[in-house]
Amino acid sequence: MSTLREVVGELADALDQPPTAVLGVPVAIDLRVVPIGHGEFVSGVPDNLVAVVHDAFGAFGAPYADLTKLERANALRARFTSVADTLAAALTRVPDAGVLLAALDDEPTACAELLDDLADSRRLVGRFLLDAGDEFDDERIDQLGDGYVRAAERWSALAPTPVPELVHEILVLERACQEWMQGASELPTRYAF
């Protein structure tokens, strides 16, 4: 089974794009509950990653970089709308801290791989969104990008520091990012795009 990092690397090579564009354009940051051992854990690998990336790169009949600035901004906002709704549903099904930590204790190797995928996906998405926030001069996108960079740091810290307080902090930040994404999907009131 390929890790998210490997899948993203293969897609980036195939599309001749940097990894941040492959993961960032579709904003592939879904949360999936995965049964592991006697517990459940949360994965950052969406079931339909390849289809989502294909849709994102093929939706306009031209590579993302070839679109106008307005088309890129509108495409990103449309993706925010879709992903924010998906994440809202996913976040209602996330197990509590005790269940997540039990899975980490029960299957540390498998969970460490999932945590690495989660951190990597959020880091790539965060960097993509920080660049997009600068490109579109939209502080809401910038805030969202910063949120995912911070989420990446916290997911990375969970394996060496498996405590309920950190899980709670992570899930609060994930929910905040979902809300920020919903806000960033709306047209800005004071920007050109």
pLDDT along the chain (193 residues), means of 10: 72 80 66 78 71 61 72 87 87 88 88 86 88 91 95 94 94 94 84 50
pLDDT at 33: 80
Spatial neighbors of 46 by CB under 8 A, at least 6 apart, are 28, 29, 30, 32, 52
pLDDT at 65: 65
Residue 192 within any structural domain of the chain = no
Residue 191 within any structural domain of the chain = no
Residue 159 within any structural domain of the chain = yes
Residue 108 within any structural domain of the chain = yes
pLDDT at 54: 63
pLDDT in tens, 97-118: 988 898 888 888 888 888 888 8
pLDDT at 66: 78
What is the C-alpha to C-alpha distance for residues 14 and 30, in angstroms, rounded to an integer?
22
Nearest Cα neighbor of 28 from 100, 96, 87, 99 is 87
pLDDT in tens, 143-156: 999 999 999 999 99
Instruction: Look up the domain containing 12 and give its range.
Output: 4-184
Residue 104 within any structural domain of the chain = yes
Residue 86 within any structural domain of the chain = yes
pLDDT at 67: 80
Residues making up the chain, counted from first to last: 193
Q: Please name the amino acid found at residue 98.
A: G
* CA-to-CA dists, residue 177 to 57, 69, 77, 102, 150, angstroms: 24, 24, 15, 25, 10
pLDDT in tens, 12-28: 888 787 877 776 655 56
pLDDT at 15: 77
Residue 190 within any structural domain of the chain = no
Residue 189 within any structural domain of the chain = no
Structural domain total, the chain:
1
| Angle at which helices 4-15 and 108-136 cross, to 10° | 40
pLDDT at 14: 82
pLDDT at 183: 93
Q: Please name the amino acid found at residue 125.
A: V
Give me 69's structure tokens: 């600035």
